[in-house]
């Protein structure tokens, strides 16, 4: 007899293979392997988790310098005490050696909080990583993209080059990126694309990063047109994370993001456009954990993400927050494989992957809560705490 309504079932959640745990703790898994495999056994609220300890890093971010020739109003460097410095060659050699021992590694991004093209050995570094057969990216402010530099990048077959263009309007761009010259940077990027065409090279692909704030938000409809004119492959629009009190009122969070924020121009192009969330949403996902990525700063310290690379201050919805770095080890002293498979780091990634953190930003007890003054600890005893991470909310983005 046909039922007058539709019934659902949970058959798609069924687990075909079961595991029996003996009284002595012996476990027989329904899988086989040619080699012995270490795994981390974690007791959870609802049972157990068994996490294989494998060096499955897929992406590495390398900060080769904290020096920069610009003084951007959006930059983290306005609120930290680090001395501008280049990565030592010995440190890079340690990194390079370790990259060779990561069997799942796919890509390396040269970025961080400095201008990579200022490093005197940047081309040697790029070449060395390219020779490992990896996808190599770099982000630059565009000021160093002179003819000779462009030719070297094309010769190296650099895969992707991101450049920061926070406005299509000259005066506005120069106000945001203090020390910059819009015409100079735009000319450099245009010349990059012209030389690629001349040499019939598709590489490096061009990506544009745009930091959205009140000062430039109205320029978003022109952004895609500018990207189209430059023959860019992709655009990343990220929100401003204020690092200085003078910028805390420039945020445009909670703007309606349900419409076509790039304007009608975006419908006419094939540029890949990533638009960050403009509202606080329920979902939280860590890009770094999901991408199986880690970050290495100019001193060789390994961090789980960009947000935990340095000591600095930022403003979350106008509230001042002290951020402390989280260092899992140093590449000069320990192998990346060992750091990645360390039980503490594995369990941290598991927690972040499941986002077992409170949601401080929209918590009803936010007012008067001193846990939100820093990322040292939250009310669930997580340390460091990722409870207010705007990257996880997909409001802040990076390549």
Domain ranges in the chain are 59-344
Average pLDDT estimate for 181-203: 96
- What was the pLDDT predicted at 114? 95
The more confidently predicted of residues 153 and 51 is 153
E strands of the chain, at which residues? 20-21, 27-28, 39-44, 47-52, 59-62, 107-110, 135-140, 160-164, 205-212, 234-239, 272-275, 293-296, 301-303, 312-316, 319-323, 329-330
Domain 59-344 sits in CATH 3.20.80.10: no
Of 190-199, 297-306, 356-365, minimum mean pLDDT range = 356-365
For residue 20, the model assigns a pLDDT of 78
Q: Which residues contact 122 (CB under 8 A, 6 or more apart)?
A: 64, 110, 116
Tokens representing 272 are 């890949």
User: At residue 264, does pLDDT exceed 80?
Assistant: no
**What distance in Å separates the CA atoms of residue 269 and residue 231, rounded to the nearest whole number?**
10
**What local confidence, expressed as pLDDT, does residue 12 receive?**
74
**Token code pair at residue 174:** 């120069």
| Cβ(61)–Cβ(293) below 8 Å | yes
Answer with the residue of higher pLDDT: 270 or 84: 84
Q: Kindly state the helix (H) or strand (E) to which residue 155 belongs, with its residue range.
A: helix 147-155
**Residue, of 218 and 290, whose pLDDT is higher:** 290
Model-level pTM?
A: 0.92
Where do we find the tokens 């009284």?
A: 23
pLDDT bracket for residue 267 (50, 70, 90): very low
With CA atoms as reference, report the closest residue to 205 among 213, 214, 193.
Answer: 193
- pLDDT tens digit string along 359-371? 998 899 998 899 9
Closest CA relative to residue 138, chosen from 64, 247, 218, 31: 64
CB crowding 323-348: b at 16 or more within 10 Å, else e = bebbbbbbbeebbbbebbbbeebbeb
* pLDDT band per the 50, 70, 90 thresholds, residue 160: very high
The predicted model gives 217-243 an average pLDDT of: 90
Residue 129 has pLDDT above 90, yes or no: yes
pLDDT of 259 higher than 60 = no
pLDDT > 70: percent of the chain? 94
Burial string for 367-396 (b: 16+ CB within 10 Å, else e) reads: eeeebbebbeebbeebebbbbbbbbbbbbb
| Mean per-residue pLDDT over the chain, rounded | 90
């Amino acid at each position: 007899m046909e039922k007058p309504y539709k019934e659902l079932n949970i058959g798609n959640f069924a687990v075909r293979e079961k595991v029996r745990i003996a009284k002595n703790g012996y476990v027989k898994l329904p899988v086989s392997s040619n080699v012995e495999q270490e795994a981390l056994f974690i007791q959870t609220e609802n049972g157990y988790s068994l996490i294989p300890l494998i060096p499955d890093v897929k992406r590495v971010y390398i900060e080769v310098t904290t020096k920069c020739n610009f003084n951007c109003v959006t930059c983290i460097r306005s609120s930290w005490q680090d001395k501008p410095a280049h990565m030592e060659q010995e440190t890079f050699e340690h990194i390079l050696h370790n990259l060779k021992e990561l069997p799942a590694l796919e890509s390396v991004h040269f970025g961080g909080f400095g201008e990579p093209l200022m490093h005197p050995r940047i081309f040697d570094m790029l070449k060395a990583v390219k020779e490992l057969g990896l996808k190599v990216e770099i982000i630059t402010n565009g000021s160093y993209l002179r003819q000779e530099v462009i030719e070297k990048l094309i010769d190296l077959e650099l895969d992707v080059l991101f450049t920061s263009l926070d406005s299509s309007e000259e005066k506005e761009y120069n106000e945001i990126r203090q020390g910059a010259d819009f015409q100079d940077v735009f000319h450099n990027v245009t010349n990059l694309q012209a030389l690629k065409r001349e040499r019939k090279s598709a590489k490096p692909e061009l990506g544009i990063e745009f930091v959205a704030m009140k000062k430039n938000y109205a320029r978003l409809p022109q952004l895609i047109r500018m990207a189209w004119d430059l023959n860019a492959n992709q655009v990343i629009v990220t929100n401003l994370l204020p690092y200085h009190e003078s910028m805390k009122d420039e945020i445009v969070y909670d703007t309606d993001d349900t419409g076509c924020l790039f304007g009608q121009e975006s419908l006419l192009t094939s540029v890949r456009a990533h638009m960050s969330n403009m509202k606080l949403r329920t979902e939280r996902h860590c890009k770094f954990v999901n991408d199986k990525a880690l970050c290495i700063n100019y001193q060789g310290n390994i961090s789980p993400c960009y947000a935990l690379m340095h000591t600095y201050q930022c403003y979350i919805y106008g509230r001042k927050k002290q951020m402390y770095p989280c260092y899992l080890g140093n590449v000069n002293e320990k192998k990346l494989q060992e750091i990645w498979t360390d039980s503490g780091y594995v369990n941290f990634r598991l927690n972040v992957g499941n986002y077992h953190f409170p949601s401080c930003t929209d918590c009803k007890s936010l007012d008067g809560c001193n846990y939100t003054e820093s990322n040292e600890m939250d009310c669930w005893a997580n340390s460091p705490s990722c409870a207010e991470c705007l990257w996880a909310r997909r409001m802040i983005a990076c390549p």
